[in-house]
Amino acid sequence: MTADLDTRIQRCIRQDVQSMHGYAIQPSAGFVKLDAMENPFRLPEPLRTELGRRLGEVALNRYPAGRIDDLRNALKRHVNLPDGFELVLGNGSDEIITMLSMACDVPGAKVLAPLPAFVMYDVSARLQGLTFVGVPLTADFELDEAAMLAAIAEHQPALVYLAYPNNPTANLFDDTVMERIVAAAPGLVVIDEAYQPFASRDWFERMTRHPHVLVMRTLSKFGLAGVRIGYMVGRKALVDEVDKVRPPYNVSVLNAEAAIFALEHADEFARQAAVLRSERTRLLAALSKLPGCKPFPSEANMVLVRVPDAAALFAALKARNVLVKNVSGLHPLLASCLRLTVGTPEENTLMIEALEASLK
């Protein structure tokens, strides 16, 4: 039976898929979980009670078409979407990236992004049959303008991704360089603003000056990682084309209701983001005092830090029940680097104490 199944897999499953590794998620039970850039705060008890009541009234026996439209309209109001622009929803930003790959899968199409970057730009492109072109950042994690422009001229990409702030480096790229890259791109440019709640600036208004630019955001970093709501905005004519490949009812009615509720209480999530920005400052200051540590500037809810031995420090922190992300093997520019999520004040204190103890 096993041999028969192996034969079927070899015959029916794409060879490149067989060679891939699945997206790895670390087991986190019992740990101070600071590895996935989640908002660490739960809703206050009165809001949790009210949300539970709202979810209990949802008509689970019906498809969620009407409530999805309500969510789209609520998000349009939330971001003050300009006239002539449209918004498309995804089951997280991951699904929107997949939709973009599907929509742009013309013969010979290529996807380009600086590296290191969010891994799904590459994975989604390759799964859809597009060629992915990665252009290394500079040593200080800035865009290599000359290399980016040369790659654009050579490969004529259908899609260019620019994460703003970038993951896992957490920095905002130079805006002047971004403008020149956007102007040079022959296809679409997607500005990925997943970490916008923690950044000092964004590209939303500048998007209106460039008809081929789309801005992608998510409610995961807003505080709803478990709800899986991503969205993308851009000129209506362009977004309408991408929307054609969106699966019907791709957002569940429960997720839509939870997201609408969160937007009605956006002030609470703004308060949480302010705490995390303050804690980020504290964490950066503490890291700069630790022996052998070099933290990099951050505009997200994470901090990238270069340490003497990433694998050893990761293991030492884990032994002290603090879970972070060892990114040192993801790209040569990330050698000896850990990525630390900014947690609650209490969680950050525990992480700092664990770092101090481990680096003695």
- Asked if the model's pLDDT at residue 24 lies above 80, the reply is no
Q: How confident is the model at residue 56 (pLDDT cuts 50, 70, 90)?
A: very high
- Asked if the model's pLDDT at residue 21 lies above 80, the reply is no
What average pLDDT is seen over the chain?
95
Q: What pLDDT, on the 0 to 100 scale, is given for residue 27?
A: 78
Higher per-residue confidence, 301 vs 23:
301
Topology given in CATH for the domain delimited by 46-264: Aspartate Aminotransferase; domain 2 (3.40.640)
Q: What pLDDT, on the 0 to 100 scale, is given for residue 19?
A: 81
Predicted TM-score (pTM) of the model is: 0.93
Of how many residues is the chain composed? 360
Q: What pLDDT, on the 0 to 100 scale, is given for residue 1?
A: 59
Nearest to 289 by CA among 305, 312, 273: 305
Nearest to 190 by CA among 167, 169, 164, 208: 164
Span 238-266, average pLDDT: 96
Q: What pLDDT, on the 0 to 100 scale, is given for residue 140?
A: 95
Q: What pLDDT, on the 0 to 100 scale, is given for residue 8?
A: 86
Q: List the single range of 7-11, 58-62, 285-289 with lowest mean pLDDT.
A: 7-11
Q: What percent of the chain has pLDDT over 70?
A: 99
Span 128-136, average pLDDT: 96
CATH code for the structural domain at 26-43+267-359? 3.90.1150.10
Q: How confident is the model at residue 360 (pLDDT cuts 50, 70, 90)?
A: confident
User: What would the pLDDT profile of 76-109 be if each residue is shown by its tens digit?
Assistant: 999 999 999 999 999 999 999 999 999 999 999 9
**65-79 vs 253-264: helix axis angle to the nearest 10?**
30
Q: How confident is the model at residue 28 (pLDDT cuts 50, 70, 90)?
A: confident
Nearest to 303 by CA among 290, 312, 315: 290
Higher per-residue confidence, 156 vs 2:
156
Nearest to 294 by CA among 344, 342, 338, 356: 338
Task: Say if CB 26 and CB 339 are below 8 A apart.
Answer: no
Scanning the structure block, which residue is given the tokens 């703003």?
164
C-alpha–C-alpha distance, residues 74 and 266, integer Å? 11
Q: What percent of the chain has pLDDT over 90?
A: 89
Domain residue limits, the chain? 26-43+267-359, 46-264
